[in-house]
Structures are given as C-alpha cells and as structure tokens.
Structure 1
Amino acid sequence: MPYEVPDLAMLTLAEVAELVAARKLPAVESWQPTNIGESDMRIASDGKWFHQGGEIRRPAMVRAFSSLLRREADGAYWLVTPHQKLSIMVDDAPFLAVEMQSEGEGQSRSLAFRLNSDDLVLAGPENMIEMRDEIPYLHVRAGLWAKIARPVFYELVEIALNEMGGIDSSTMPQVWSDGSAFPIGVMS
C-alpha cells in the first residue's frame, strides 16, 4: 500500500492529532547495537538528504531513514536499527518544517506542522518552538529539531503581529499553541 502524503490544509487539528498519535516509530532510543560504523550520509541545512554525495530523491527513502534517526547526548546523530548504528552528518537540523496549519486564536490557538519527511508535529509543551540566532526551530522528538522554513516563519510572524495589533517595539511577538506561548522575534 503506497504511503499517502498528508494534505495538511485538508485536515482539522483533531485529525492531525489522531494521525500523530497513530504513527508508530521504531524504538531507536532503546536499541543498543554493537555494530557501529559510518553511513556516508549527510542532511544539508536545506533539509535535503545525501548519500556518498548524491541526493536521495525518493521521499519514501527519506521517510524510512528519518524514522531511524537518533541524537545522542553529545549532539552526534545516528541511524539506528536493532543490529547497527551508523553515524550521519547533520549540517543544521535534521528536519525542515515546510507547511503549517493553524486553528483557533490567541491562547486557544493550535499549530500543526508538516515536515520535509511528511511527519506531522503539533506545537505545544512537548514540541516547543524556539528561536536560535533569529531562526525558528520546532522540537520534533527526543532531541531532534526541525528548522522552520522561511515561508512558514512568515505565517507565524503574521499571526503574532495580527494578535498584537501590529508592530510594537516594546512587546515580544509570540504565538500560542496548545496552551504554550512561543516568542518568535527579538526585541531591538
């Protein structure tokens, strides 16, 4: 059965939450394989995956590899199976948030994101949005983050400014999702 890419615009946030809850990822955090090596893979800062210098263009392969991704406490990234652990180079963040869906307003707002791996993530206390050097990131799972693509970030800024009533240099722009507030700008 072929994988169907979720059309975020056609889903309610309740449907997104059901899809997120139904997704069963491999238990990479509990696997401790003794066969350790190099994968010759790299995830570029634009979210593209490469193997031995060539881009991996099949979305199904990226989805499969991304489900095996783990980040160690020392910041190293690994592709992990029960029998093998292979290092992978990550230039920035391993994922890119490429689409957003918003429901509600203000503190009652909920935000869902689709990643370049077609995973869905609901922003909230477990999946925070944070700014790093004026670039927004979304926590995905277990120390893995997604850089929020520029067009999606502009949508977040528009929401924040509309809810603030416009630009006010004394107030930090922020968005709410699942009861949590996330600053999305810097005060000058």
Structure 2
Amino acid sequence: MPYEPPPHLASLTLSQIAEQVQARKLPPVDNWAPQKEGDSGMRIAADGTWFHDGSPITREAMVRAFSGLLIRDESGAHFLVSPFEKLSIEVEDAAFVATDMAVRDEDDRTALAFRLNTDELVIAGPDHPIAARGDAETPALYLGVRRGLEARLNRSTYQQLAEHALATGDDWTVSSAGESFRLKP
C-alpha cells in the first residue's frame, strides 16, 4: 500500500487534524520487554536527518518506520525498540523537527497543531506541552511528542508560533487545548 502523507495543515479543520492524529497507528513499544541490548549505529542530527553508520537514510519510509519505534528513557537516552532488541540511537538535539504549525479556533477553544518532519501531526496540549529552553540570546522551543520524545520547532515554525503569540497578547504566552505555554526561557 503506497504511503499518502496527511494533507497540508492549512487545509484541515481542527476535527480533521484530530482524526489524522487518531489514525496514526504506532507499535506497542511500551508493552515490549526486549532481552538484547546494543547500539543501532544510528544518529539523528539536529536538523532531523537520520544517519546509519555515517550515511544519511534517504528513504523517508524507513525514517517514518524507525520513528515509531523510538523511546526516550528518564535519563534522556534514546532507543529503538523491537520485541527482541533495545538499541541505543544518538540524538543530537530532539528526535523530531516541527516543520509547520496551524492555529485553529473551533467551539470556543484554540488548538495549535504541528506537523513533524516525519509527517506526523501533533496537537499541543496537556499531553504534548510546548517548552521554552535556552536563553534570551539563543532560545529554542520544543513540543512534547510521545514516550519522552520531543520535536524542536524549526526556524519558520518558531516564527509562526511567535507571530501567533504576539497577535494574541504581549506576554509571549500561547494556549492550546486548554493549556497555556510560556515561550520565553
């Protein structure tokens, strides 16, 4: 079955975005207890490029498949998990990159939806918080994705979110799905 990416965020309503989020089927990695551990020989660069043994992985379908197997433990280490193996993977910054954002106001609620570099859609809220890190000179914004994993907002998505924050007030705070998030570190 050929892969069909979700439609562009700009063309989706909040209900359609929520349907896309629910339709994503992820492997039940939380239920797996692999006995073998090792190193995957893989790395995710700060720009979201995946590498194996120093060479970029150019097949987007492989990256999407591997991304569903990612976890991050309490110490911040990242792993690819299968029912049989738990393999470490080096992550330079965040496992994902948020590449687009849309603001939706429906039924007296605001939601901020993000597209990741793996075509996954995430709605910011209690289960997917936005966190500001760094300092005033080099701020960075991150979106909680799942299983301790995060997406760093790329420059254009950061700008989209900053413009939204300025349009709604001057305190650098945004709201989504009933939660408020401060955008200054």
What SS does structure 2 have at the residue aligned with 1:29?
helix
CA contact (8 A) 1:108 1:176 kept: no
Residue 179 of structure 1 aligns with an amino acid whose one-letter code is G
C-alpha deviation, 1:85, in angstroms: 1.2
Residue 5 of structure 1 aligns with an amino acid whose one-letter code is P
C-alpha deviation, 1:175, in angstroms: 1.1
CA contact (8 A) 1:100 1:112 kept: yes
Cα distance in structure 2, aligned partners of 1:175 and 1:142: 23
Q: Corresponding residue for 1:36?
A: 37
Q: Alignment identity in percent? A: 51
With the length of structure 2 as denominator, give the TM-score of the two structures.
0.92
C-alpha deviation, 1:145, in angstroms: 0.4
- Number of aligned pairs? 179
Alignment of 1:1-188 (within 5 A): 1-7=1-7, 8-104=9-105, 108-133=109-134, 134-164=139-169, 168=170, 172-185=171-184
CA contact (8 A) 2:6 2:20 kept: no
With the length of structure 1 as denominator, give the TM-score of the two structures.
0.91
C-alpha deviation, 1:12, in angstroms: 1.2
Cα distance in structure 2, aligned partners of 1:160 and 1:67: 31
C-alpha deviation, 1:16, in angstroms: 1.0
Residue 82 of structure 2 aligns with an amino acid whose one-letter code is T
What SS does structure 2 have at the residue aligned with 1:157?
helix
Which consecutive residues of structure 2, in runs of 5 or more, have no partner in the other structure? none
Which consecutive residues of structure 1, in runs of 5 or more, have no partner in the other structure? none
After the TM superposition, list the runs of 4 or more consecutive aligned residues in structure 1 that deviate by more than 3 angstroms: none
Cα distance in structure 1, aligned partners of 2:28 and 2:49: 24
**Backbone CA RMSD of aligned residues:** 1.4
